[in-house]
Amino acid sequence: MNSLKPIFDEKKPRVYIETYGCQMNVNDSEVILSVLQENGYSLTEDMNKADVILCNTCSIRDNAEQRIWGRIEQFRLQKRRNPAVVIGIVGCMAERLKDKLLEKVDLVAGPDSYRSIARMVADVRPDSPQINVLLSRDETYSDISPVRLDKNGVSAYISIMRGCNNACSYCVVPYTRGAERSRDPHSIVREAEELFGNGYKEVNLLGQNVDSYLWKSAEENVNFAKLLEMVSAVSPELRVRFSTSHPKDISDEVLLTMAAHENICRHIHLPVQSGSSTMLEKMRRKYDREWYLERVAKIREIMPDCGLSTDVIAGFSGETEQDHQDTLSLFREVCFDSAFMFQYSERPGTLASKKYPDDVPPQVKTARLNEIIELQTRMSLESNRRDLGKRFIVLVEGASKRNGEDLCGRAGNNKMCVFPAAEAERKALGLQPLQAGDYVTVEVKDCTSATLLCTQVL
């Protein structure tokens, strides 16, 4: 296994990496750095000191890509100052935009090519850029221990699968990341054990659709529920989270497994995308509004205290005012704790781009999105108010961002809790000051729409 920690060593060639997009991309950057460190590179957080500048990209919406094109121009300015610098674009934009990218940078590497990234960097010459955008059927990087880039040393990502076999009509991911493949469960458990041994207290199991995780070998079949059980057995002190769940696939078995293990956090990220069955059909989500609501009811029946968050898209092709109202009414009915909310952005190559015109005017998309955001902010506040007076066990992450004297951490339901460090009170009771990685019981005294304001229960 490789070293888990980033190496900062000025005597070695230095890599600077910027990451855009989802948690899976963050974890991919950790894999890339692991491969590079194994090959003698070190890390820098200062682009001006880098020998290699990498940008791990996201294609999910047009504005993500536009931002990255802007950054590429800045990297090129740096290369003008220091022509020896290698600029590489990796990740989801690589395959889609390879020709345009090769005009601007030295290296283009897709999500399944990271094992060869060190060789590619070394092979770059002024007149020979390097490219590998082949997608694989079986690459899961299962034997590579990612270099941990998180700052707190408490919570880490573990990729349990790669790619996606769903064919949501709006989504570019199956084209950028290829077909779905699951990783050997024993390598996942080993990685969780290694993290726990290094002081981590929480792992977040990542996949585009974790419910379809399936490992088949001669000896065993392991589905997602079984995998959850295996990882939760690493230690009762290690919290297990996961994302993303798919409403068509989330099974009662998974819900019952969550309910049966206290260290599996009671939080489900369950993207709905729309509250209108017409839109869901056109999006090829393979469920309808009623199915989604039934799954939510089941989650709450099995785990009444389970946190629930979602993703939603406003203004998909052909979306009528009634469809939009259906989304709003679903949001009211479910009362999500939080949501990621987006305007539809047509992506080249997707089924929707070929079959369904992007016909909701931009100002209508924006107005609908704003309406959803406004409603969700109220619902988040309502959800947080329902927690007033409740007690939660929080995993301390460190100082609160807003007020450095307070501490922060998440409750099992994924809500952010902020509370005074109360060092004097702790000392009076003979307790050590709290540190990142400690568990503490808090009581909710007040809230905003984003945070629970708590006190420690001593």
Binding residues (CB under 6 A) for ligand SF4: these are 21-22, 24-25, 58-60, 91-92, 173, 176-177
- Count of H helices and E strands in the chain? 15, 21
Over the window 166 to 185, marking each residue x when it contacts ligand 5AD by CB under 6 A and - when it does not, the resulting string is ----xx--------------
59 binds, among ligand SF4, ligand 5AD, none (CB under 5 to 8 A by kind): ligand SF4
Partner residues linked to 222 by β-bridges: 215
CA 275, 280, 286, 290: dihedral to nearest 10 degrees?
30
Tell me whether residue 56 or residue 273 sits nearer to ligand 5AD (CB atom). 273
96 binds, among ligand 5AD, ligand SF4, none (CB under 5 to 8 A by kind): none
Give the shortest CB-334-to-ligand SF4 separation in angstroms: 23
* Residue 267 dihedral angles phi and psi, to the nearest 5°: -150, 135
Size of the site for ligand 5AD (CB under 6 A): 12
State yes or no: residue 449 binds ligand 5AD (CB under 6 A).
no
What 3-state DSSP class applies to 397?
Answer: strand
Options 79-87, 294-302, 339-347, 431-439: segment touching ligand 5AD (CB under 6 A): 339-347
The full DSSP string for 382-393 is: HHHHTTTT-EEE
170 binds, among ligand SF4, ligand 5AD, none (CB under 5 to 8 A by kind): ligand 5AD
Give the shortest CB-208-to-ligand SF4 separation in angstroms: 7
Question: What distance in Å separates the CA atoms of residue 290 and residue 319, rounded to the nearest whole number?
Answer: 19
297-316 residues near ligand 5AD, rule: CB under 6 A: 311, 313
Strands (E), 74-144: 86-91, 107-109, 130-132
What 3-state DSSP class applies to 308?
Answer: strand
Contacts of residue 382, Cβ cutoff 8 Å, sequence gap at least 6 = 335
- Rounded CA Rg of the chain: 23
52 binds, among ligand SF4, ligand 5AD, none (CB under 5 to 8 A by kind): none
207: which 2 tokens?
Answer: 């996949």
Options 106-114, 142-150, 183-191, 343-351: segment touching ligand 5AD (CB under 6 A): 343-351
Residue ranges binding ligand 5AD (CB under 6 A): 60-61, 170-171, 271, 273, 311, 313, 342, 344-345, 347
